[in-house]
Chain A
Amino acid sequence: MADMQKQGSQGYKRDQVIQIINSVIDRVHEVDQENLQRQLHDLKKIIEGMREELRTTRPLDIHSKHIPVASDELDAVVAATEEATGTIMDSCETIQSLFDSMDQATAASVEAEVTKIFEACSFQDITGQRITKVIGALKAIDDKVSVILKLVGTEFPGVGGAAGAKAAESEDESGDTEGDSDGRTGDAALLNGPQLPDQGISQEEIDRLLAEFD
């Protein structure tokens, strides 16, 4: 990335490149080398096409629209499941308050089922944590895209933008421009759950592990 920045600041600008290409094309025309002229024309078309494609893909939308929308939607999922879970548990507690009006056998059976519902409601905690991790990943993608937009914007005006530049400058200041590590150490590095299936260990394995300390 540092090499790209260096090249960008010391190399030719876009307009200079086009000027040079046009100049070469003019001279090629004079010397009547048709094949070379055609190739240079093709090269020019490729560069212009690339610029147009970058512009039409609206990369700034990733930062200004897509990532925020995705984050908001996920936040809404967490809020909705929390509300629904609360409603379910309200109903369970209402049922529990009726135990005294039931005979003992019925109350015991209903209690067992209500317990299962409470256990199942823990999904909200797990999904909430997973969604929080996804939102964090989206933020990381947003930051990286902003850095790329800043670099692309330097060479192709109109493609990148101030938002990308701002994010990139922020990242430049922190010195965090590459690498997969999030830089956490010590106890903080232990916070990675919930693990996906087969990434963590089971309750039985945890029990065995704890027993080894005794």
Chain B
Amino acid sequence: MVRFSLLRDLEKGERKVAVDMEMNVLIVDDYKTMLRIIKNLLAQLGFRNVDEATDGTMALELMRNKKYGLVISDWNMEPMTGLELLKQVRAATDQNAKVPFIMITAESKTENVIAAKQAGVNNYIVKPFNAETLKQKISAVLGAF
């Protein structure tokens, strides 16, 4: 399934830069449905090593022990929101301080986008989204596809 997507892109000459598909990706969302959707879409794009967290606190715990190449997080979670997670990640001095961070959220107000950008987000996807949008934003962040 994965190889088909990549093969199509390669055949069209659309893939410009190789992405390390073995990189660790962390997805954070308190809705199991959304975690499953994102994980499946990432699998279709070729990402094999995907970890899941259901809130910011759990995400930080995972990030303490592993280096991630990409974090995709929801905003509205308890007890720690995605914005707070982003702030803590950027404030840290560890191996994940500069990890590419994409916010996927239903918060679609201008002030939210600005707050996320000021906190250091690399890209912002508003829900509901499709696979193509996810692919485009990951590509923009990782410089691939």
B21: CB under 8 A from chain A? no
Chain A window 191-214, contacts with chain B (Cβ cutoff 8 Å), 1 for yes, 0 for no: 111110001111101100110010
User: Is there an interface contact between B1 and A119, defined as CB atoms closer than 8 Å?
Assistant: no
User: Is there an interface contact between B33 and A210, defined as CB atoms closer than 8 Å?
Assistant: no
B114: CB under 8 A from chain A? yes
CB contacts (< 8 Å) of A92 on chain B: these are: 40
B127: CB under 8 A from chain A? yes
User: Is there an interface contact between B110 and A209, defined as CB atoms closer than 8 Å?
Assistant: yes
User: Is there an interface contact between A201 and B31, defined as CB atoms closer than 8 Å?
Assistant: no
User: Is there an interface contact between B107 and A82, defined as CB atoms closer than 8 Å?
Assistant: no
- Which partner residue on chain B sits nearest A99 by CB separation? B1
Chain B window 55-90, contacts with chain A (Cβ cutoff 8 Å), 1 for yes, 0 for no: 000000000000000000001100001011000000
Number of A-B contacts (CB under 8 A): 125
Chain B: minimal CB distance from A120 (Å): 8
User: Is there an interface contact between B127 and A187, defined as CB atoms closer than 8 Å?
Assistant: no
Chain A: minimal CB distance from B104 (Å): 10
B128: CB under 8 A from chain A? yes
- Whole-angstrom CA separation of A192 from B111 in the bound complex: 11
B101: CB under 8 A from chain A? no
- Which partner residue on chain B sits nearest A128 by CB separation? B31
Stretch at the interface among A28-36, A58-66, A107-115, A148-156: A107-115
User: Is there an interface contact between B8 and A115, defined as CB atoms closer than 8 Å?
Assistant: no
User: Is there an interface contact between B131 and A119, defined as CB atoms closer than 8 Å?
Assistant: yes
Chain A: minimal CB distance from B27 (Å): 13
**With A126-B106, A193-B107 in contact, do A203 and B32 touch (Cβ < 8 Å)?**
no
A19: CB under 8 A from chain B? no
Stretch at the interface among B12-20, B46-54, B91-99, B118-126: B118-126
CB contacts (< 8 Å) of A209 on chain B: these are: 110, 113-114, 117
B37: CB under 8 A from chain A? yes
Chain A: minimal CB distance from B7 (Å): 8
User: Is there an interface contact between B81 and A191, defined as CB atoms closer than 8 Å?
Assistant: yes
User: Is there an interface contact between B108 and A194, defined as CB atoms closer than 8 Å?
Assistant: yes
CB contacts (< 8 Å) of A187 on chain B: these are: 81, 83-84, 115
Across the A-B interface, give the 3 residue pairs with the lowest CB-CB distance, nearest first.
Answer: A200-B108, A194-B106, A193-B107
Interchain residue pairs with CB less than 8 A apart (29): A82-B32, A86-B36, A89-B37, A99-B1, A111-B1, A111-B4, A115-B44, A115-B131, A118-B41, A119-B130, A119-B131, A122-B34, A122-B129, A125-B34, A125-B37, A129-B76, A190-B111, A190-B112, A191-B75, A192-B109, A193-B105, A193-B106, A193-B108, A194-B127, A200-B108, A203-B125, A203-B126, A203-B129, A209-B113
